[in-house]
Structure 1
Amino acid sequence: MSTPSPLLSRPGAVPVEDGSVPAHYGSPLREQRELAEGAGLVDRSDRDVLGVPGADRLTWLHSLLTQHLEQLDDGAGAEALELSPNGHVEHHLVLAELAGTTWVDVEPGTGAALQTYLERMRFMLRVEPALVTDGWALLSLVGPRGDAVLAAAGLPVPAAPYAVLALDGGGWVRRMPPIGDGAPVVDLLVPRGELAARADALLVAGAVPAGVDAYEALRVEARRPRLGVDTDHRTIPNETGWLTSAVHLAKGCYRGQETVARVHNLGRPPRRLVLLHLDGLAEQLPEAGTPVQLGTRDVGRVGSVVRHHELGVVALALVKQSVAMDAELTVAGARAAIDPDDAPVTLDDTVAAARDRVRAVRSGTIPR
């Protein structure tokens, strides 16, 4: 369990299940609207943080992860995955390169396992990976007024996606992809001992406190998966949006690359990530891992399930490729439908024919 955040002492704060950060401050739907239309400050200090200094850090991480990192510029960030030998996703990393250190933030509770893996892969290289969650904490400022809040607080405003700028007194601010229907996001890494003071400065500058429930609702709307919630032990990058955000398809060898390349070339991963609309009649939301059913047959699993301020009850789900867009699905007895924006990408005839031939060759159905 993460150390409880000092922001839990703020008026109206209701903790998440493990008691680490505020889930909401009394009005989850209003807080969602603030993220979508204004500027909401979200305490995400339960995320684990690692620091990786050392002269060999970028080439070393490049060899281990799915992203092209060996020439990552100072002041740049990225997303990357660490895969099993069979190509299954084991860690999702968000990176920030600044002043000789590569900073990594990962899902709560996963930092120790990642550090263990990195230590095992050090060999004689000049790298010093360390779990530094006790010293550093992450905040997220979300919404179209976020840049104005940063400026009013006298903080730097990164412009380009994944741009990273240093903060006075330590830490950084990083531009992230938007969530919801285009709500801008910036992450701030701050000394954990200054978390309350840094948050207060942003609130004085015009931000409104918002819980992680609001952030999660907009994240689901944006189809951005979370490791261990929207994924299972079989998930490969090709089944999620990570193939475009966290994988460099043209880089050299890394663990699990063969699976990623093979499935990409064949063009048909076993499952796909979709947004499901649920009827919302039940008081209790389905838990992550609940089967998605077509009749009596399991055809997938739900991950994050949220009450969205505009969409109602929605969920991210991994479903089999064979599931039709208009399939009459159920989740824990609730009726469910796939969002029409999540139709599979249609290949042009030439590419489709080429991939059909590759499949035929691999299955031995035509002469080689």
Structure 2
Amino acid sequence: MEAYTSPLLATHGTFPATGADAGVAAHYGDPAREQRQLARASARVIVDYSQLGVVTVTGEDRASWLTTLSSQVVTGPLVARGADLLLLSAQGRIDFYMHALENDGTMWLITEGSHAQALTDYLNSMKFMLRVEIANRTDDYAVVGSTRDFRADTDAPAILQNARVWQDPWPGIVPGGYSYAQSVEHPGEGYRWFLSIINRVDLPALAESCELAGSWAADALRIEAWRPRFGYEVDHKSIPHELDLMRTAVHLSKGCYKGQETVARVHNLGHPPRRLTFLDLDGTEHTQPPVGASVYSGTKKVGTLTSVAQHFEAGPIGLAVLKRNVDPAATLMVREEIAGEEGSAPTATDYAAAQTIIVTPDAGQVAGRRTMGDFFRG
């Protein structure tokens, strides 16, 4: 498949992103200012996420069918605003992670661009005799992100006023959901994120009527809010419990679906083998480690840095997936290993990292926990 390149990359001063965001801008010349503007929410700022994929599901059975396949209930009003849903393997691992929106008789699914066709093919293989039609519409539609819903903004461009808008439910605990986070006051309480689906041909016009912020700005706000993302925190072993996705993407009381047995068993009787954590990184190096760098506790590798950003107020921050039993009080080290030239030894740069617990080490085993009522009953 030919690599995607956004037309907005032609904007003067643009620095291209890499990894899951390859094809769009990391920033447009001033990442700190872009992040401040994006965080304000009152400014008319958009983030080019046109590298994402868009898949549509139409037909009378679309909502009930997706409910039977996925981890979430999408037959009610929740999906009209925006829902998270997962398609899991039989072992409960995350195969597909989608943002779902019901609009005008169509279920719109936003996913990573590299997964759009695979998702389309999988859904087509599962429709059997049901009244559903699935299509990969990535060539026709593009996605832009914002901290503001432009539909009620009469001064916003008509392209955004008329867009189909998915509102991130994070960090709310949706019906049937469950929080594994330790913090009583979640740092994402003020986090607001919208993905607008527009006609792809309209994307260049937005650069003329809106301020642009790159993916670095959006990632910094996402990391600050402890928000996991498919292209970063999820790997081939991930189960939803590890990433605190039980709060938005899993309905614990819904009917049977593939992977449900693992979800229920880990939640009620076991522990997830890994846990998501937030990292405050040492900023004295004036650089930051790359995504994928190893995380160490002493001399032992205990996890992987999955997201990293330079926050305009908090400095260098990141998310990491660690082994469950890593001491929550331990000071960690993120190591960037640099291959040496032929015949020379590799070098490494270490970044001290203080962890803030997101998913607790004792997450799970809910069925075996005593409730407050248990204590009163003795």
Q: TM-score range by the shorter chain?
A: 0.7 to 0.9
Q: CA deviation at 1:316?
A: 0.7
- For the Cα contact (< 8 Å) 1:190–1:198, is it kept in 2? no
Q: Residues 88 and 74 (structure 1 numbering): CA distance in 2 closer, same or farther, change over 3 Å?
A: closer
For residues 223-270 of structure 1, the C-alpha deviation after alignment (integer angstroms, 9 at most, x for no partner) is 111224212211100111211111111101111111111111126322
Show CA shifts across 1:314-351 (max 9, x none): 11111122222210211102211102677668999995
Q: Distance in 2 between matches of 1:335 and 1:193?
A: 45
CA offsets per residue over residues 93-119 of structure 1, 9 Å max, x none? 001101111000101211111111111
Q: What residue is the counterpart of 1:365 in the other structure?
A: none
Please say if residues 141 and 187 of structure 1, whose CA atoms lie closer than 8 Å, have aligned partners that are also in contact: yes
Question: What does residue 359 of structure 1 align with?
Answer: none
Classify the secondary structure of the residue corresponding to 2:288.
Answer: coil
Tell me which of 194, 202, 218 is aligned to 1:194: 202
**Partner Cα distance (2:32, 2:57) in 1:** 38
Task: Give distance in 2, aligned partners of 1:346 and 1:80.
Answer: 21
User: Deviations along 1:155-179, whole A, 9 cap, x unmatched?
Assistant: 69xxxxxxxxx964xx412332469
Q: Give the counterpart letter for 1:196 in structure 2.
A: P
Alignment-mate amino acid for residue 193 of structure 1: V
- Higher alpha-carbon deviation: 286-295 or 119-128: 286-295
Cα deviations by residue, 1:211-232 (Å, 9 ceiling, x for unpaired): 1110011111111112242122
Listed as ranges, the matches of 1:8-47 within 5 Å are 8-17=9-18, 20-38=23-41, 39=43, 40-47=45-52
The residue correspondences of 1:286-325 to structure 2 (distance < 5 A) are 286-325=289-328
**Does the 8 Å contact 2:31/2:214 carry over to 1?**
yes
1:95-244 to 2 correspondence within 5 Å? 95-142=100-147, 150-153=153-156, 168=162, 171-177=163-169, 182-201=190-209, 203=210, 208-244=211-247
Instruction: Give the unaligned 5+ runs of structure 2.
Output: 172-186, 336-349, 372-378
What is the CA distance between 1:281 and its match in structure 2? 3.8
Distance in structure 1 (CA, Å) of the matches to 2:238 and 2:324: 13
Question: Following TM superposition, by how much is the alpha carbon of 1:137 offset from its aligned partner in structure 2, in angstroms?
Answer: 0.3
Is residue 8 of structure 2 the alignment partner of residue 3 of structure 1? no
Determine if contact 1:74/1:99 at 8 Å carries over to the other structure: no
Q: TM-score, normalised by structure 2?
A: 0.80
SS in 2 for 1:111: helix
Alpha carbon RMSD of aligned pairs, Å? 2.9
Q: 1:91 is matched with which residue: 81, 96, 100?
A: 96
Residue 184 of structure 2 corresponds to none
Deviation, 1:352, is 2.6
The answer (yes or no) to whether the contact 1:292–1:329 under 8 Å persists in 2 is yes
Of the structure 1 ranges 73-82 and 59-68, higher mean CA displacement relative to structure 2 is found in 73-82
Per the TM alignment, residue 198 of structure 1 is displaced from its structure 2 partner at its CA by 4.0
Q: Displacement of 1:185 after TM fit?
A: 2.3
* Residues 298 and 353 (structure 1), Cα distance of their counterparts in 2 relative to 1, 3 Å cut: farther
Q: Report the CA distance between 1:200 and its aligned residue.
A: 3.4
Change (3 A) 1:27 1:79: same
Aligned counterpart, 1:255: 258
Judge conservation of contact 2:244–2:359 (CA < 8 Å) in 1.
Answer: no
Gaps of 5+ in 1: 157-165, 355-368
What is the TM-score with the length of structure 1 in the denominator?
A: 0.82
User: What amino acid does structure 1 have at the position aligned with 2:198?
Assistant: V
Q: 1:342 to 1:100 in 2, by over 3 A?
A: closer
Cα gap change, 1:94/1:74 in structure 2, threshold over 3 Å: closer, same or farther?
closer
Aligned length: 336
CA contact (8 A) 2:242 2:359 kept: no
Q: How far apart, in 1, do the equivalents of 2:64 and 2:201 lie?
A: 32
